[in-house]
Amino acid sequence: MKLKTRLRIAFALMVVGPMALLLVLMVGFGNMRVHSLEREYGMEITMSHLINSVQMLNETTTRVWEEMDAQAQKDPDEFLKFAFLQEMDAELESKLSFLLLIRENEVYYCAENEETLTGLVDNLPPYGSAEDDAKENGVYIGGRKKAMVKQVDLDFSDGTKGSAYIITTAAALVPQVWILVAQMIGVTLLVLVITGLLLTLWINAGINKPILKLQEAARQITEGNLTFTLETDGTDEISDLTREFETMRSRLEQSEKEKKRYDSESRELIRNISHDLKTPITTVKGYVEGIMDGVADTPEKMDRYIRTIYSKAIEMDRLVNELTFYSKIDTNRIPYHFTRLNVYEYFNDCFEELKPEMDEYGISFTFEFLMDRTTLIIADPEQLMRVISNIVGNSVKYIDKEKGEISLRVLDMGDLVQVELEDNGPGIAPEELPAIFDRFYRTDESRSSATGGSGIGLSIVKKIIEDHGGSIWASSQLRHGTTIHFVLRKYREGSRTE
């Protein structure tokens, strides 16, 4: 749920929720109050009674009034007995009312104090003045003492007259009002607490918990831990932020892994180059010392020493060039200059350039061209030559036969030109074959100081071929040799070139 929607719902619940909950609780408390009053006053309580408490209290005394009225019809002189009056008054006390008897305009009986009667007696309806329904239902008198009054007229046997009054004063309503006020305050506070608690829990679940999760994630990233995962299935803004945060964490983790891999590869490269430079430098140093000490005392020895020094210098130069080219690969800044090349002429030139070097190594180097000699490709001649040189140089290092053989073949594969460089070296185990184009990978046979190598030659080859839009792979048989295959797309008139 969107955060904006959640806040709108929260606002609506803050307005409507308490009102609805208050209504429900008031109905509940009202029913409890009705049952309590029905038990207390022994009568059925209706909604009008709750609205008009005076009416309710007035009706609670109806039964007592009917009993008194019946006694007045039967034997009014019974009202002159204090025991009867006290009995009636005790029953009225539970109804929050009291009994007052007036005989010949004088107060004959009243258990209340004079302060209660002050201002009340003068306002009571006189004997015979009230209608029959008013006597039963009561009349309301104002003034200083506000009260509901029910009246029973009495004609005593001695000829005197009087009236018995059931009086329910407004003071009797005060406890009921306080109870109602207390209940309303309690219900209101309860509603506010419940509503606030529910909204707090809801907002906490939708906002606070995800924020705490993000805070914990940020703390872990600060401490360098990037291996955790932030999961969320929500659709709100914080969930969107969580997903973006997880994407950022994932990229940071990937960058960290790549940095560690790069650092490891850089250390491996430096170690390989240092190791491989050490051998030719040691050789050059030894031969130079031999010349300085006069060991090369014949022209033949001098020529052999100089050629050896030159060969080792070329080897060191190749290692330095590989290191320089490696840095260009890592920054993706290999300089390419693509042009149209005649396939036959180009690879024949490559063969002619490498043939003398192979002769010096005593390796048989052959060239086969098995396609139309007018075929063209789009390629960078310098970088493609690097590919051929690296593959041939790699084969030279590992050939273990007395008579080494390397073959360069160019084949027609429809829209593609396939180039194969095959040697008769020791071959590569099937489980190692897929990894030979990885950076710094060396087969077991190549880990001796005799062969050396930086371990990046074939990875450079793969990068250049792929940048030409081609692909490269290898096939091999143990003890029989290895073949490196790569393909390049032919140039067609009108085709797009990169």
Q: Rounded to the nearest 5 degrees, what angle is found at the Cα of 455, between the Cα atoms of 453 and 456?
A: 115
- Amino acid in position 93: E
- Which residues make Cβ contacts (< 8 Å) with residue 314, sequence separation at least 6? none
Percentage of the chain lying above the pLDDT 70 cut: 75
- pLDDT of 498 strictly over 50: no
Residue 42 pLDDT exceeds 70 = no
Q: What's this model's pTM, rounded to 2 decimal places?
A: 0.48
449 pLDDT more than 50: no
- Model pLDDT, residue 170: 63
If you average pLDDT over residues 40-53, what whole number do you get?
A: 54
Distance CA 445, CA 430 (A): 14
Edge-first strand listing for the sheet containing 416-423: 363-370, 404-413, 416-423, 481-489, 471-477
Task: Collect all residues with Cβ–Cβ distance below 8 Å to 11 and sequence separation of at least 6.
Answer: none
Residue 41 has φ and ψ, to the nearest 5°, of -105, -5
**Which residue type, as a one-letter code, is found at position 179?**
I
Write the burial class of residue 136 (CB in 10 Å: 0-12 exposed, 13-18 middle, 19+ buried): middle
The pLDDT confidence band at residue 451, using thresholds 50, 70 and 90, is very low
Question: Encoding tokens for residue 229?
Answer: 């995962």
At residue 448, the pLDDT reads 41
Q: pLDDT: is 361 or 203 the higher one?
A: 361
One-letter identity of residue 372: D
CA distance 334 to 442: 24
- Provide mean pLDDT across the span 158-183: 73
* Domains, in order of start, for the chain: 1-221 (no CATH), 336-498 (3.30.565.10)
pLDDT band at 196 (very low <50, low <70, confident <90, very high): confident
Write down the pLDDT at residue 30.
64
pLDDT digits (tens, 9 = 90+) for 66-100: 899 999 999 999 999 999 999 999 988 877 789 99
